[in-house]
Amino acid sequence: MDKQQIMNTAESVLMHTYGRFPMVLDHGEGLYLYETDGTKYLDFAAGIAVFALGYSNDNYKAALKDQVDKLLHTSNYYYNVPATVAAQRVCKASGMDRVFFTNSGAEAVEGAIKVARKLYYNKHGHADSTIIAMNHSFHGRTLGAVAVTGKAAYREPFEPLIGGVLFAEYNNLESVKALIDDRTAAIIMETVQGEGGIYPADKDFLQGVRKLCDDNDILLILDEIQCGMGRTGTMFAYEQYGVLPDVVTMAKALGCGVPVGAFAARGEAAEALVPGDHGSTYGGNPFACRAVETVFDEFERLAVVDNVKKVSVYLWDTLEAIRGEFSVITDHRGIGLMQGLEFSIPVGDIVKATMVEGCILIAAGSNVIRFIPPLVVTEAHVDEMAEKLRRAIRKVVG
């Protein structure tokens, strides 16, 4: 099949849930992706913040091949070494006591919600608790995750969703406070809003929410599915706020391509779920957990977080320079290697034009271009991206 045939066939058999770019990807190497016809792209999207290690990392590939030869799956009725080691690594890195591995980010959010509801039930002797979520948040596409997602268009066609979800304004502590009552089980938020347009939490806000939770016996769930795993310059973004959540969700870069997520909890939240309360056939299988274990090993070996600290400053300065050159760019925000440029016009055409120049970027909402490269990106890659982006913006805005 040639490229056009592949795209036509895909469109005829895959559900039309995505507007795909006309690109048939075949393999990757470092920061570069290649199409079946050999066309090369610098990748500043990392499969949506997934491929932290870049493509084709040798140790990662070797570990997974070794695990394929040994054992892919056991179910959770038995112990296995990769899940045990991966759980230790996640707990140590996150400051949590226990972890449950899932197959996706949305499932991690589902699990976190169940922890909050179960703990409330244990303490109060009745269910019917509520959860406070944030406007413009994104937590995934399953019915529970979409119920706490702060974008009406994602929720409304699928109602009724899980009930008892109230929405506050992100970075507005008073709006959170106003929703708290004796039925509040948890507050869920991203430490840095990703899909909503790259909005980091204000320090005062996150610390204020932590205090509200402490004062009112409410769980703080931080969704670090996108901003966790080193992306912001610390393993988890909350480290930079001096705040520890009660439950944290992670996925995306956790497996660097192997589908795996997790929710981890500490203290009484870590003990809320007991046998019979939750499960997953695949969740945390030896293959997925070998990926997690190897990702942590490679993060250490390659000093990935130090690289983020260094290159993110260079990316910041580069994007600031670009912002100064084009009046259509109205804002620049973000932390670490999770930055966004906001435009006064929809960014779809600029993203497409950048792709034609040979660089993959993605939008966050209609007006923001998101920069979430693999975490092993170098300053030379940033320069290459910047040159392609400048050319693309000039083409679109003239």
273, 114 in Cβ contact below 8 A?
yes
CA angle centred on 228, ends 279 and 169, rounded to 5°: 90
Own/partner long-range contacts of 58-61 (Cβ < 8 Å, ≥24 apart): 59/294, 59/297, 59/298, 59/301, 60/256, 60/291, 60/294, 60/295, 60/298
Is residue 223 involved in binding ligand PLP (CB under 6 A)?
A: yes
72, 287 in Cβ contact below 8 A?
yes
Stretch that binds ligand PLP, among 52-60, 166-174, 197-205, 221-229 (CB under 6 A): 221-229
Q: Which of 43, 110, 190, 246 binds ligand PLP (CB under 6 A)?
A: 190
Give min distance, CB of 301 to ligand PLP, in A.
Answer: 26
Is residue 194 involved in binding ligand PLP (CB under 6 A)?
A: yes
Residue 322, C-beta contacts closer than 8 angstroms, at least 6 positions apart: 329, 341, 386, 389, 390, 393
252, 74 in Cβ contact below 8 A?
no
Is residue 312 involved in binding ligand PLP (CB under 6 A)?
A: no
Minimum CB distance to ligand PLP smaller for 94 or for 318: 94
Is residue 43 involved in binding ligand PLP (CB under 6 A)?
A: no
Residue 230 burial class via C-beta count within 10 angstroms: exposed 0-12, middle 13-18, buried 19 and up: buried
CA angle centred on 182, ends 179 and 188, rounded to 5°: 50
Is residue 232 involved in binding ligand PLP (CB under 6 A)?
A: no
Minimum CB distance to ligand PLP smaller for 96 or for 338: 338
Stretch that binds ligand PLP, among 3-11, 16-24, 105-113, 115-123 (CB under 6 A): 105-113
Stretch that binds ligand PLP, among 69-77, 98-106, 297-305, 369-377 (CB under 6 A): 98-106
Give min distance, CB of 391 to ligand PLP, in A.
Answer: 29
Is residue 363 involved in binding ligand PLP (CB under 6 A)?
A: no
Query: Which stretches of the chain bind ligand PLP, using CB under 6 A?
Result: 104-106, 109, 138-140, 190, 194-195, 223, 225-226, 251-252, 261
